[in-house]
Structure 1
Amino acid sequence: MNDVSAPAFGPDPARALAASATALLETIDSAVTVWDGALRCLYVNASAARMLGCPAQELPGRPLAEVIGEERFRACEAERAAVLAGRTVEFESQVQGGDGLRTCRIRLLPRRHGDGRQDGFIALTDDVTEARELRESRARRHETELAIERSNDALRMLYEQTPAMLHSIDTEGRLLTVSDRWLACLGYGRDEVLGRASVDFMTPGSREAVLVEYLPRLWRAGRYDRLSLQMVRRDGTVIDVLLSSVVGRDPEGRPLRALSVIEDVTTLLDRAAQLRREQLARRELERQAAELARLASERREMLDLLAHEVRQPLNNASAAIESAGAMLADKGEQGASARLVRAQGVLSEVRRHVDNTLAVSTLLSGAPSPPEEEADIDTVLSVALAELPRAERARITITRDTAARSALMDSALVRLALRNLLGNAIRHTAPGTPVTVRISDSEAPLALFIDIIDEGGGLPPELLPRLFARGARVRHPDGRTSHGLGLFIAHRALEVQGGELRLLHSGADGTALRLVLPQGQAG
C-alpha cells in the first residue's frame, strides 16, 4: 500500500496522525478514494481496491476517467462539478467492479489543506446492492401484501355491491356472505342473516325441497341451475326466484362452500300472467271485432238493398212527375204544372235525406283509404249538378284555373260532397243568386281544389266552431232549422279519402268552402 499521508494530509507534524487515519481507513468496509484537483488518484483503501478489481498500488497517479471508465466519468460530470465547487454531494450509481455491476451509494467531500484551500475531493463509496435488493424485496412483499389486501377488499366490495342477489353457504347450509342487493330485496341487515341457515328465508314448501332434494344433489353434482323457489321478505311478502349454485372445493376435492345467484322473477311472472290475460282479452276483442265486422257487412248489404228499394220508387216517381209536368206545360196548365214542380222538389228533398242517411251509415264505418284511380272532373261535376232541381241548375257557374281534366279521387264520395255543398248554397241564398264552382290546383302540396262560392249572407257565427260536427243544428232567420248533416257528410267524404274540407271565407258577402283532394307526391 502506498504511503499517501504526506501529500494528502499535510506536513511532518501531522504525519503520525495521518498514518493512524490511513490505518483506520484500511479497516472500514466503505471504499475510500482521494483525488487531487487534476483528478489524479492520490489514495485508495483496501475496500476500494477490491471494489475496483485492481491492486491498490497500481491506482495512485492514474486519472479518474481511466480508473472508472469514460462512460461513468461523463455520467458523473454534474456531481463532480458540484464537489469541485466546494459542495458535498451524495448519490447512487452503478459501479462495474471485479465481481460485476454493483449498486453503490457515493458521497463526495471537498478535500482541503490546512489553510482551507480546496484541492480535489474524497469519495466514500458503499456497496448497497444487497441492502437495496433486500429493501426492495421487502417493499415488494409489502406492496404485494397490500395489493392482496386491497384485492380482497375490492372483491368483497364487488361481491357485496354487485346489483344481483348473491349468497354463499357452508356445507351446513349456513350463510357466509350475502350481497347488498340480497339484503335490500329481502329487507334485512347483514348482521341479522350471516350464520343463519339459508332455508330460514324460504317458504315451507321451498325449504323442504331444498333440504330433502336440492342441497344433497348440489354437494354431489357440484351445481344446479335455475331452481324455482319462493323466498320470504322480512315483511312477510313472498317473492318468486330462480336460484343457481356452484360448489367450491379444496385441493382434495372436498366441498368448502357454494356460491348462489338468485334472480327475482316475481315481476316477470306477474307480467307473464298479465300478458296471458291481455292475450285472452285481445283474442276476445278480435272475436268481437270479427263479429262486428260481420254485422257491419250485413248492415251494409241491408243498406244497399234499402237504398235500391227506396231510391228506385223515388226516381220513378220523380221521372213521372217531370214527364207529367212537361205535358201539362205544353197544354197550358201552368197551375197544375207548378204544383207538380213543387211535388218534384219534395221528392228531391226526400231523396237527398235518404241518400245522406245511407251515406252517414257508410262513412262512419269506413276507414280512410286514399283513392287509387283518377276520375274525370267534368263528369263528376255533371253528375252532381244533375242531382239538383232542374230550375236551380242555371244558377251554377263553373270556372277553371287549371288545365287538369282528371284527378285522383273517389268519384262517388266527391259527388256526394258536391251535391250537399251545392244544395246548401242554393237553399240558403236568395232565389236567382249565382253560385260559383271554381276548379284550381297547387304544386306544393300537389292537390286539386274545388271551391263552392255563394253570395248569401254567410254562415251563422255560432255555427263556425262546430261547422263540420255531426248534428250541428242551427236556426236560420227564416225559421228553418239546419241539422248539420250535409256539411258533416261532405267533410267525412273528403276525410276518408285523405282530403279535407276547408272554410275559406264566411261573411256578409257570402261563403266559400274548398274541397282539397291530394294528388300524391309532387314531381
Structure 2
Amino acid sequence: MPQASMPDNESQRLARLAQLKVLDTAPETIYDQLAQAAAAICETPIALVSLIDADRQWFKATIGSSGVHQTSRDVAICAHTIKGSSLMEVEDTWADARFKINPLVSGDALIRFYAGVPLRMQAGECVGTLCVLDRVPRKLSQAQIAALCALGQSVAQALQERAARQQLSQQLAASEENQRLVIEYQTELISLAELDGTLVFVNEAYAHYFGSQAKYMTGHNLFDYIHTDDREAVRQHLTWGDDDVVRANGVNRMILADGSARWVAWTNRRLPACDGRAPLIHSVGRDITAQKNAEDALKESEGRYRQLYESTPAMLHSIDHTGRLLSVSDTWLEKMEYSRDEVIGKPSVSFLTPESQQRAVNHELPAFFSKGKCQNVQYEYVTKSGKRINVLLSAVLEYTEDGAPKRSLAVLQDVSDKHAAERQQRQAAHLLQVVMDNIPARISYWTNDYRNIFANTAFQRAFKCEGQALAGRFTWEIMGEGWWRKIKNIVDVALTGQEQWFEVSSVDDSGERMDTELRIAPNFFEGRVLGVFVIALDITPRRLAEELRLAQRAREQLERDAQELQRLLKERNEMLDVLAHEVRQPINNASAALQWAQRALQLSGTQDQLNPIGKAQAVLYGVQNSVNNILAVATQLSHQSEPMTADFDLDMLLSISAADMPETERWRIEIVNTSGIKTLHTDASLLRLALRNLLKNALDFSSAESLVTLKISESDQECGLNVDVIDRGAGIDANVLPRLFERHVHGYHLGRVSHGLGLYIVREAMTLLGGTVDMLATGPSGTCMRLYLRDSLR
C-alpha cells in the first residue's frame, strides 16, 4: 500500500499543531457542529475533523463514526490531502491505486468515497482536514464543494481562535497573579487632585505605575497622563457642581512613561471642602488591560465566527430552547426572501406550512430537544412571496454548563428542484411508457452485453412475448437465433459508437413479404457506449406504395413523352409545309425567271442591264441559303438532339458568321471583342445559326448606311459569355414585345415585314445550347439583342 510522503514543511507543521494544544482534548460543540454541517450539506453519513500528528491521525470531531478517535498515519487518506492546497476528492477508492488495498477501504470501515479540505493556518501550515466519507462511490456537486471549503475555513479559524483564547487566558492568569502581588503590596493606584486636575497626592503604587516617584508627580495635572482620545470624555465625567458629593466610575486609557497605553478602571468621588481646604477628587484605579484585551479578542472572535456563519453558502439557522431564531445565514435569507431584522426572534415554525408546523411542534422539535440532534427531517417552508421550498433539515444542539439546551446549529438543504425533477422524471417516464406502447414501431434497449432492458408493446407483440419478464434476458432468447444472426454484426458496429440504418426483407410463415427498417443507435454516457436503442418499423406498405408510385410516374412520363413527341412532329411538319409551299416554290419560280432573263440579255443586252439581274440573283441566293438553314434547324429542333459541342476559335467563328451575310452588306458589320477570350466550347453550327438570324435582322431592318455592332464580353456570371448584336434601326413594335420570340410573330422596322421565324429559331438554338437570348433595349435609335452562353469558356 503506497503511503503519503511527508510535506516539505513537516517540522513547522508539527510545531504549529503542538502550539494549538488541541490533541487529545475533549469534544467541543463548534467542531461537532461544523462536521455535522459538512455531512448534511454533502449528504454523506460520515464527517471528521482530522488532525495529522507525527505518527497518527486524531479526530477532534466525528460524525457517523462513533468509537473511533484515531488511526495510524500510514493508513490515513487525509495524510495525502494535507500535501495539497485545495480539496481532494476520491470518487471511488477501489479505483484509486493509492487506496484500493488500504485497510480502511478494504476492511470493515469500507470507505468508498472521500473528500477533504486542508485546515491551513495563517502562516500556511496544514495541520489536518475537514473530510466527508461514504460507503458508496459518489461525486460532489460544485455547490457542495464550495460549502465544504467554506466550512473547512471555519474549522481552521476556530482552531486558531481557540489557541488565541488559550494564550489570552494564560496572559490573564499571569496578569491576575501580578495584580495579586500588587494588592499584597498595596498596588492600587490612589490619588487626590484638585477639581482642575492638579495632583496633590499619589501613593507609591500610582507613581511607580507611571515610572516616577510620588514627590515628583504632585503638582502635575492628572489629565496629562490620560490618553488624548479619552481626555475630554474624562474631563466631562469629572465635572461636578459645587454642592455635589457624588461617586463616578469609569474606564479609560492612561499613557505610561514609555509611551504605551494601558486600560485603567477608576472609582472617583468628590470630597467636599473642609477646614479651609478646597474640594478634591479622590481616585482609586486598577489596571484592567489584560481583561480588556481578552474581551476585545473575544468580541472579534465572535464577530468573525458570526461572519463566517452568515456568509457560509448554505441555509443555516440557530434556535434557542424556545424554538425562536437566534441567527440565520445570508443564504437562508436569500432563499426565504426576508431581511435579518424580519426573522430574528421569530419562532422558526412560523415559516413552515401548516402541515409542517403541526409535525414540527408535535413530534420533531420535542424529539430534537430530547436527543440533541436530528438528520434529514423533511419540512416545507414558505417564502415571503408565498413560494414553497422543500428542505431536508439536520441539526445538533449545544448545551449550557448545567446541561440545559442553549442553542442549535441547523443546516437546511433546499431539495425543491430535486423533488420537482424527480416528479418530472416520474411523469416523463410514465408518459414515455404510454407513448412507446402506443406507437407502431418496435422499440427496445439493449446493454453492451446484449441484454434487454426495455421493450415496448409492439416489440413484445412482434416476437410473441407479451406479458413476459424481458428485462435482463439475452436478445437472442427473445428474438430467436435466426433474427439474431442477421443483425449481430450490425449491433456490434453500433456498440462501437456508429449509428446503423438498414432494411431487412423477409417472408413470414404465410408467404407474405415483409420489409423492415431497422435503426440501431448507440447510447453515449460520459464518452462511453452503454448500450443501443433498437427501433424497427414495418415499411412494407410504404415500399409497396413507393413501387406503385414509381410505376405510375413512369407510365405518366411515357404518356407525356408521347404527347410531346406528337406535338414536336406536328410542329416540324407545319414548319416544313410553310417553307415548302410558301417560300421555296416562289423562290424557285423567281430563280428560273431570272435565269431566263439573264440568258436573253446576254444575247442582246448590255452590262448595265445585266448588273441588276446579278444583284437580284445575289439576293435570291441569300434567301435560298436562309431557307435551307431554316429547314435544317427545323429538323434539328424537332428531334431535340443534344448539341455537338467542341472547342472553336472565337474570332474565326465570328468572322464566318459575318461572312454569311451578303457581300455587299459585310462592310456594315463591326466586331468588338472586349473579352480577351480565344477559345469557345459550344456547338458552332447552332451559334452560327443564331448569329446569322440576328445579323440578318439587324442589317435588313436598319438603314443601308448604318453600322451593325457585334460585341463580345465576359458575363458577370461564372464562365459565361455575352454576345450582343446592336443595330441603329427604328426599333421593334411595342405591341409584339411580349411575344417577340414566339413563332409567326412579326416585328416592324422601317415599314418592312419579317417572316416571323428568325427570333423563334434564335431562341430554340440558344435553348439547345443551354443559354438564353434577351432583348436588352429597343427604340427609335436602335435595338440590342443579347445571346448569353453558359459554361462555354475554356
TM-score (norm 2): 0.32
TM-score (norm 1): 0.45
Where relative contact order (Cα < 8 A, 6+ residues apart) is larger, the structure is 1
Greater helix share, structure number: 1
